[in-house]
Structures are given as C-alpha cells and as structure tokens.
Structure 1
Amino acid sequence: MAESSTPSRERIVAGAADMISRRGLNATSIRELAKHAKAPLGSTYHYFPEGKRQLATEAVRYAGTAVERILRKELDAGPAAGLRAFLGLWRDIVVRSDYRAGCPVLAVSVEEPPIDDTPPALLAAAEAFEGWERLLAEALRDRGVEREQAAGVAALVVAGVEGAIAMCRAKRSMRPLDLVERQLTAVIADAVAAAE
C-alpha cells in the first residue's frame, strides 16, 4: 500500500511546537506553522478547524506531555536523575537549534493574553508547568521530603530551568544553564539529605 503524502496530525502539532519554541505564538501565523511542518494549509485546517488557536493549544499540550514522559521515566531513579534529564532535554534543544529554540510552553506563557479571555494555549501552558512540578514534587516526597518543601523545590527547578533556557538563548551560551544546574543539584541533594 502506498504511503500517504498527507502529513500526519501529530507531525503538524510537533512542527507547530517547534515553530512556537523559535518565534513565539503571536509572531507565528497558521500559514507559517503549516509551512514549517511541511503540511498543506488545507490539511492544517482539516485537522484544526478552529485554526491557530486550536493548533497552538495542542502544540503546547504535545510539548508538555513529551517532557512529562521523559521526566516520569527518569524520576524512577530519583529526583536528581529527573533534574539531569530535564536539563539534558533543554540543553539538547537549545544547542541543536544554535540558540534559536527554547521551550514552547514558556514561549506561550510570556505572551500577553487578551484582557477579557484567557487563551486555551495559556491554560495548556499552566497545566504543563503544573504537571512537571507535580512529578518532581512526588519524586521528592518519595525520598521523604515534606510536602510543602517538595512543592517549593519542584517549582524552583521548573522556574530555574525555564529562566536559564531564556538566558542561554539571549547570551548564546550554555553558562546560565550550567550555573543553574549546579545550584539545583545542591538544593535537591540538601532536601533529600535533610529528609533522611
């Protein structure tokens, strides 16, 4: 059977997540998202009849879920392993893109929403951040860290890494992520040691 030349829905979503990670949401049109995914505009509207808003929301969910999947797997070995995986993922994306790409979840988060309506992509971004924090906090609690401290350390990890990604792109250097990695590794080690 001949393979269809129509791009898959998932490929369009993945392409949109990549494009948003490079240019942000407001600076990206549905036409550009389709082109970046090497998809005909008609196919894009077929899969996403609500247009850019729907595609952006699904792209953020896609990115959030992809990161969660990696975290969930690596956190089985403990919070330090989860941190290394989280850092490694973003390090790879930033370096491979020559500092042009970062996190699509962060990209959507920093764009100003309309006053009267919270865009679904922004809600999806909040859900992604919460999911990553929840997984990290659970891994810390599994090591005996008290609930409130585990939540605080998890939020620090996500905020620290996301901020470092933006700094790396601006400075065209991995130094901010390296510095944040050392500090977060120490915070996690201290929290786990204090709980033992």
Structure 2
Amino acid sequence: MAQSEARNRMVAGAADMLRRRGLNATSVRELAKHSGAPLGSTYHYFPGGKAQLAAEAVRFADAVTVRKLAGELSAGPVAGLRAFVDMWRKVVLDSDFRAGCPVLAVSVEDQSDEDDEPRRAAAEAFDRWTGLLTDSLRAHGATEDAARQTATLIVASIEGTVAMCRAQRSIDALDKTAAALESVVRAVTDSAGD
C-alpha cells in the first residue's frame, strides 16, 4: 500500500472515530486500530500525535462537506441546503444514530491551548461552510446581512439538530429543521421556484 494511501486511510478512520466518540474519548491507539494501521505508523505520519491526526480528520470531513455543498450550491441555495441535510441524514441513519459530525465533536471538547489545532481546523471548516452558503444566498438575491445570518443559521441549526437526532434516536428533528430552514432560504432569496 502506498504511503499516502495508508495515511489517508488513517485520517478517514480518525474522522469516523471522532464522529462516533469525540476527541477526548478517543486515543491514538484506538485511532490506529480503527484504521487498521500499526501504532508506529500513526506516529510516523502524525508526529504531532493525537492533535495533529484529529486536525487532519477535521480537514478531511471539511473537504467532503465542501465537495458536497459546492456541487449542489451551483443549482441554488435550496439545493445546497437539501444536500447538506441529506448528507447528515445519511450519516445519522447509516450509523444507527451513533455518529454525528467530527467537526462539531472536536469543537465542543476541552483542548489545551498548545494542542488547539483540531479546534482551529473546526473553526475553519465552519467558516468555509458558512462562506459557501453565504455566497450562494447572495448570488440568488439575498442581501449581504441576510445571506450571512441565514448561512450561519443553517450550519448551526443542522449541526445542533444532528446532535438532537442522535440523542432522540429519531430523524424527525432534522426533517422539521430542514423544512423551516428551506422557508427561511426562500424568504431571503428569489428561490421561489427551486
């Protein structure tokens, strides 16, 4: 197996562990085992240890989300919202309510100031998602302020709702939130026909 393939597998495995267990409940040993990599390889590819691997896992999750959003936002903000919701619905249902968002998981856990690379990566991910949504909303008629507020509302609402779905073991909250957000998007844009 190529070195980059092994490293990528470790990053994807770490993202999966983070979305299921969070940062503080996951050790480097468990991350290595989950990805099928020897512990020594983990430290070879990630000399910064758990913080570096977690930050890379967050960037991986960010890139997946950006690809999904960017692909659908070209059809408009309603399509982008639906894709964002569908992506999280699939994560929650496919994991039988055991997994959420690794970006959120890293964001809400205590981290030392010297190892805050995962938190900074999470902040960058949320900024990127909000930025993509803001741009699409503006391109479809929303004012600058309305676009920024609505994009923030979308990301915050969906991230929080995913946590609710996991706790309630039901997708109902996500469906209700998606419907309400779609109404907001239509109200601030000229997307009545989407």
Identify whether the pair has TM-score above 0.5, normalized to the shorter chain.
yes
Q: Offset at 1:5? A: 9.9
Corresponding residue number in structure 2 for 1:64: 62
Task: Find the counterpart in structure 1 of residue 140 from structure 2.
Answer: 143
**1:9 match: secondary structure:** helix
Quick one: which of 110, 127, 132 aligns to 1:130? 127
Q: Distance in 1 between matches of 2:44 and 2:191?
A: 54
Mapped pair 1:10 → 2:27? no
Q: For residues 161 and 91 of structure 1, what CA distance do their matches in structure 2 show?
A: 10
What letter corresponds to residue 40 of structure 1 in structure 2?
P
Q: 1:178 to 1:4 in 2, by over 3 A?
A: same
Q: Map of 1:37-186 to 2, 5 A cutoff?
A: 37-114=35-112, 116-117=113-114, 119-186=116-183
Contact 2:13 2:34 in 1 (8 A): yes
SS of residue matched to 1:8? helix
Deviations 1:106-126 (A, max 9, x none): 000111233x44601000000
- Percent same amino acid at aligned positions? 55
Residue by residue over 1:24-58, the C-alpha shift from the partner in whole angstroms, topping out at 9 and shown as x without a partner, is 00010000001111111111111111111110010
Q: Is the 8 A contact 1:7 1:38 kept in 2?
A: no
Unaligned runs of 5+ in 2: none
Q: CA deviation at 1:4?
A: 5.9
Secondary structure at the counterpart of residue 26 of structure 1: coil
Change (3 A) 1:156 1:29: same
In 1, are the aligned partners of 2:91 and 2:100 still within 8 Å (CA)?
A: yes
| Cα separation, 1, equivalents of 2:41 and 2:182 | 45
Asked if the contact 1:6–1:43 (Cα under 8 Å) also holds between the matched residues in 2, the reply is: no
Report if aligned partners of 1:94, 1:100 keep a CA contact under 8 Å in 2: yes
CA deviation map 1:47-87 (0-9, x unaligned): 11111111001000110111011101100000000001000
Q: For residues 85 and 101 of structure 2, what CA distance do their matches in structure 1 show?
A: 12
Which runs of 4 or more aligned residues in structure 1 lie more than 3 Å from their structure 2 counterparts after TM superposition?
3-7
- Find out whether 1:23 has 2:21 as its counterpart: yes
Q: CA deviation at 1:193?
A: 3.5
Report the CA distance shift for 1:123/1:35 in structure 2 as closer, same or farther (over 3 A).
same
Matched, 1:32 2:30: yes
CA root-mean-square deviation: 1.8
| Equivalenced residues, count | 192
Counterparts of 2:83 and 2:29 in 1: how far apart (Å)? 34
**Structure 1 unaligned spans of 5+:** none
With the length of structure 2 as denominator, give the TM-score of the two structures: 0.94
State the TM-score, normalizing by the size of structure 1: 0.93
Q: Deviations over 1:162-194 (max 9, x none)?
A: 000000000000011011011001000111149
